Amino acid sequence: MNVCFPVHDLVTFEGFRLLSSILLVHKVTNSGNLKFDLSERRALPTKSQSDAAIFMCQLLSNLYQPIQVFRYDRELDTLYIQAGANDEIAVIINSAGIWEFVI
């Protein structure tokens, strides 16, 4: 399903930032409208990602490492965890639940 908004209306559209984070801009039409694709993007991590994240957070907690950042990136479909007293630990968990340290 697609929906179109005139570009000049979006400048004053209060929820534009939220809308643009949820929807994918499909194209700018010839009439100057932005066309959005309303097909849903994954809004939540997969079960495998969730399980790996729980494991990783428990591991970090057992090692007395503070977790500074925990973020799900819908664009990349990855979970990112940054931890440690000096933010020296960074982990990325892909949609299959496979985690790797970022150096």
What was the pLDDT predicted at 82? 96
What was the pLDDT predicted at 41? 58
> Quick check: pTM over 0.85?
no
What was the pLDDT predicted at 2? 46
What was the pLDDT predicted at 22? 44
pLDDT digits (tens, 9 = 90+) for 8-40: 444 444 444 444 444 444 445 556 565 655 555
What is the overall mean pLDDT for the chain? 76
DSSP one-letter string for 5-72: EEHHHHHH-TTHHHHHHHSEEEEE-TTSEEEEE-SPPP-S--HHHHHHHHHHHHHHHHTTPPEEEEEE
